[in-house]
Protein backbone atom coordinates (compact mmCIF):
# COMPACT_ATOMS: atom_id res chain seq x y z
CA UNK A 1 0.00 0.00 0.00
CA UNK A 2 3.03 2.29 0.20
CA UNK A 3 3.26 2.48 -3.59
CA UNK A 4 2.73 5.97 -5.04
CA UNK A 5 -0.45 5.64 -7.13
CA UNK A 6 -1.47 9.27 -7.50
CA UNK A 7 -0.01 10.99 -10.54
CA UNK A 8 0.27 14.63 -11.54
CA UNK A 9 0.90 15.71 -7.95
CA UNK A 10 3.48 18.28 -6.86
CA UNK A 11 4.89 18.92 -3.40
CA UNK A 12 3.80 22.34 -2.11
CA UNK A 13 6.31 24.12 0.11
CA UNK A 14 5.03 25.85 3.24
CA UNK A 15 5.71 29.49 4.00
CA UNK A 16 6.17 28.69 7.69
CA UNK A 17 9.08 26.34 8.37
CA UNK A 18 9.37 23.56 10.91
CA UNK A 19 12.06 25.57 12.69
CA UNK A 20 9.78 28.59 12.97
CA UNK A 21 7.03 26.46 14.45
CA UNK A 22 9.42 24.93 16.99
CA UNK A 23 10.67 28.41 17.86
CA UNK A 24 7.13 29.60 18.50
CA UNK A 25 6.24 26.48 20.51
CA UNK A 26 9.42 26.76 22.55
CA UNK A 27 10.46 23.13 22.09
CA UNK A 28 11.39 20.61 19.44
CA UNK A 29 8.97 18.40 17.53
CA UNK A 30 9.48 14.65 17.89
CA UNK A 31 7.77 11.27 17.91
CA UNK A 32 7.75 9.30 21.16
CA UNK A 33 7.05 5.80 19.83
CA UNK A 34 5.79 3.56 22.66
CA UNK A 35 5.99 -0.11 21.66
CA UNK A 36 5.35 -3.28 23.61
CA UNK A 37 2.92 -6.10 24.22
CA UNK A 38 -0.78 -5.52 24.80
CA UNK A 39 -1.18 -4.80 28.50
CA UNK A 40 2.37 -3.53 28.96
CA UNK A 41 1.11 -0.03 29.77
CA UNK A 42 1.89 1.85 26.55
CA UNK A 43 -1.28 3.92 26.35
CA UNK A 44 -1.42 4.66 30.07
CA UNK A 45 2.20 5.80 30.18
CA UNK A 46 1.85 7.83 26.96
CA UNK A 47 -1.20 9.64 28.32
CA UNK A 48 0.52 10.30 31.63
CA UNK A 49 3.53 11.76 29.82
CA UNK A 50 1.15 13.84 27.72
CA UNK A 51 -0.47 15.24 30.86
CA UNK A 52 2.88 16.05 32.49
CA UNK A 53 4.13 17.83 29.38
CA UNK A 54 0.84 19.68 28.92
CA UNK A 55 1.15 20.94 32.48
CA UNK A 56 4.59 22.29 31.52
CA UNK A 57 3.03 24.24 28.65
CA UNK A 58 4.30 21.96 25.88
CA UNK A 59 2.40 21.24 22.66
CA UNK A 60 1.61 17.53 22.63
CA UNK A 61 -0.78 14.90 21.33
CA UNK A 62 -1.34 11.15 21.77
CA UNK A 63 -2.11 8.75 18.92
CA UNK A 64 -3.53 5.59 20.46
CA UNK A 65 -3.71 2.31 18.57
CA UNK A 66 -7.36 1.47 19.26
CA UNK A 67 -8.51 5.05 18.70
CA UNK A 68 -6.79 5.30 15.32
CA UNK A 69 -8.30 1.97 14.26
CA UNK A 70 -11.75 3.48 14.84
CA UNK A 71 -11.12 6.20 12.26
CA UNK A 72 -8.14 6.57 9.94
CA UNK A 73 -7.32 2.85 9.98
CA UNK A 74 -10.76 1.32 10.45
CA UNK A 75 -10.38 -0.52 7.13
CA UNK A 76 -7.36 -2.47 8.41
CA UNK A 77 -7.36 -5.79 10.24
CA UNK A 78 -4.55 -7.62 12.03
CA UNK A 79 -2.91 -9.60 9.25
CA UNK A 80 0.84 -9.00 8.91
CA UNK A 81 0.18 -6.87 5.82
CA UNK A 82 -2.47 -4.78 7.57
CA UNK A 83 -0.28 -4.33 10.63
CA UNK A 84 2.49 -3.00 8.39
CA UNK A 85 0.13 -0.58 6.65
CA UNK A 86 -1.26 0.50 10.03
CA UNK A 87 2.21 1.52 11.19
CA UNK A 88 3.12 3.12 7.85
CA UNK A 89 0.09 5.41 8.07
CA UNK A 90 0.76 6.30 11.69
CA UNK A 91 4.36 7.05 10.81
CA UNK A 92 3.26 9.52 8.14
CA UNK A 93 0.74 11.17 10.48
CA UNK A 94 3.40 11.39 13.19
CA UNK A 95 5.75 13.09 10.74
CA UNK A 96 3.12 15.77 10.12
CA UNK A 97 2.88 16.43 13.86
CA UNK A 98 6.66 16.63 14.08
CA UNK A 99 6.77 19.09 11.17
CA UNK A 100 4.29 21.21 13.15
CA UNK A 101 6.72 21.30 16.08
CA UNK A 102 4.57 19.06 18.26
CA UNK A 103 5.67 16.27 20.60
CA UNK A 104 3.47 13.37 19.53
CA UNK A 105 3.20 10.15 21.51
CA UNK A 106 2.17 6.99 19.68
CA UNK A 107 0.99 3.94 21.60
CA UNK A 108 0.97 0.94 19.27
CA UNK A 109 2.06 -2.66 19.74
CA UNK A 110 3.90 -2.25 16.40
CA UNK A 111 5.29 -5.80 16.63
CA UNK A 112 7.62 -5.74 13.63
CA UNK A 113 11.07 -4.21 13.95
CA UNK A 114 11.26 -3.40 10.23
CA UNK A 115 8.03 -1.39 10.37
CA UNK A 116 9.28 0.68 13.30
CA UNK A 117 12.63 1.23 11.59
CA UNK A 118 10.88 2.47 8.45
CA UNK A 119 9.13 5.13 10.52
CA UNK A 120 12.49 6.13 11.97
CA UNK A 121 13.85 6.50 8.43
CA UNK A 122 11.22 9.02 7.27
CA UNK A 123 11.92 11.31 10.23
CA UNK A 124 14.86 13.61 10.80
CA UNK A 125 17.81 12.85 13.05
CA UNK A 126 16.69 12.64 16.65
CA UNK A 127 13.01 12.99 15.81
CA UNK A 128 12.13 9.32 16.43
CA UNK A 129 12.37 8.25 20.06
CA UNK A 130 11.68 4.53 20.37
CA UNK A 131 10.42 3.68 23.84
CA UNK A 132 10.20 -0.03 24.65
CA UNK A 133 7.63 -0.61 27.36
CA UNK A 134 9.08 -3.87 28.61
CA UNK A 135 6.76 -6.26 30.42
CA UNK A 136 6.80 -10.04 30.42
CA UNK A 137 4.05 -11.99 28.72
CA UNK A 138 3.11 -13.35 32.15
CA UNK A 139 2.65 -9.83 33.53
CA UNK A 140 0.59 -8.72 30.55
CA UNK A 141 -1.63 -11.80 30.73
CA UNK A 142 -2.16 -11.25 34.44
CA UNK A 143 -3.21 -7.65 33.82
CA UNK A 144 -5.26 -8.39 30.67
CA UNK A 145 -7.19 -5.09 30.96
CA UNK A 146 -9.30 -5.74 27.86
CA UNK A 147 -9.75 -9.49 28.33
CA UNK A 148 -7.94 -10.12 25.04
CA UNK A 149 -5.40 -12.66 26.30
CA UNK A 150 -8.19 -14.77 27.73
CA UNK A 151 -9.95 -14.73 24.36
CA UNK A 152 -6.70 -15.49 22.51
CA UNK A 153 -5.95 -18.46 24.78
CA UNK A 154 -9.48 -19.72 24.16
CA UNK A 155 -8.97 -19.50 20.41
CA UNK A 156 -11.51 -16.70 19.99
CA UNK A 157 -8.85 -14.29 18.62
CA UNK A 158 -6.36 -15.40 15.99
CA UNK A 159 -3.02 -13.74 15.28
CA UNK A 160 -2.73 -12.18 18.73
CA UNK A 161 0.71 -10.74 19.47
CA UNK A 162 2.58 -12.73 22.08
CA UNK A 163 0.30 -15.77 21.76
CA UNK A 164 0.23 -16.90 18.13
CA UNK A 165 1.83 -13.89 16.46
CA UNK A 166 5.37 -12.58 17.05
CA UNK A 167 6.63 -9.49 18.83
CA UNK A 168 10.11 -8.35 17.86
CA UNK A 169 11.76 -6.41 20.67
CA UNK A 170 13.63 -3.22 19.72
CA UNK A 171 17.38 -3.56 19.27
CA UNK A 172 18.21 0.14 19.53
CA UNK A 173 15.47 1.73 21.62
CA UNK A 174 16.34 5.15 22.99
CA UNK A 175 14.57 4.27 26.22
CA UNK A 176 13.53 1.02 27.91
CA UNK A 177 10.84 1.22 30.59
CA UNK A 178 10.62 -1.54 33.19
CA UNK A 179 6.86 -1.98 33.29
CA UNK A 180 7.21 -5.22 35.28
CA UNK A 181 8.77 -3.53 38.28
CA UNK A 182 7.81 0.17 38.24
CA UNK A 183 4.60 2.18 38.43
CA UNK A 184 3.07 4.36 35.73
CA UNK A 185 3.99 7.71 37.26
CA UNK A 186 7.62 6.70 37.80
CA UNK A 187 7.93 5.48 34.21
CA UNK A 188 6.34 8.66 32.86
CA UNK A 189 8.83 10.70 34.87
CA UNK A 190 11.66 8.71 33.24
CA UNK A 191 10.35 9.72 29.81
CA UNK A 192 10.07 13.39 30.76
CA UNK A 193 13.57 13.28 32.26
CA UNK A 194 14.91 11.82 29.00
CA UNK A 195 13.31 14.64 27.01
CA UNK A 196 14.69 17.26 29.37
CA UNK A 197 18.23 15.87 29.44
CA UNK A 198 18.35 15.57 25.66
CA UNK A 199 17.13 19.08 24.93
CA UNK A 200 13.71 18.29 23.48
CA UNK A 201 11.78 20.60 25.79
CA UNK A 202 13.56 23.77 24.68
CA UNK A 203 14.32 25.38 21.32
CA UNK A 204 16.77 25.87 19.79
| Binding-site sequence positions for ATP | 36-43
Q: Is 179 among the residues known to form the active site?
A: no
DSSP codes, the chain = --S----S------SS-HHHHHHHHTS--EEEEEE--TTSSHHHHHHHHHHHHHHTT--EEEEEHHHHHTTTTTT--SSHHHHHHHHHHHHHHHHHHHHTT-EEEEE-----HHHHHHHHHHSPTT-EEEEEEE--HHHHHHH-TTSHHHHHHTTSSSS-BTTTB-----SS-SEEEETTTS-HHHHHHHHHHHHHHTTTTS--
Task: Spot the catalytic one: 79, 110, 136, 197.
Answer: 110
Supply the residues annotated as catalytic. 110
Amino acid sequence: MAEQKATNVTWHEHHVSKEQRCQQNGHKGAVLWFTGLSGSGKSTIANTVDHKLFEKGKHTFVLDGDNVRMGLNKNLGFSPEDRTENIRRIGEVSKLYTDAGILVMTAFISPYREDRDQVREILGDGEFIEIFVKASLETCEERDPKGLYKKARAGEIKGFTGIDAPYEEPEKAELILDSDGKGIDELADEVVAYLESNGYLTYP
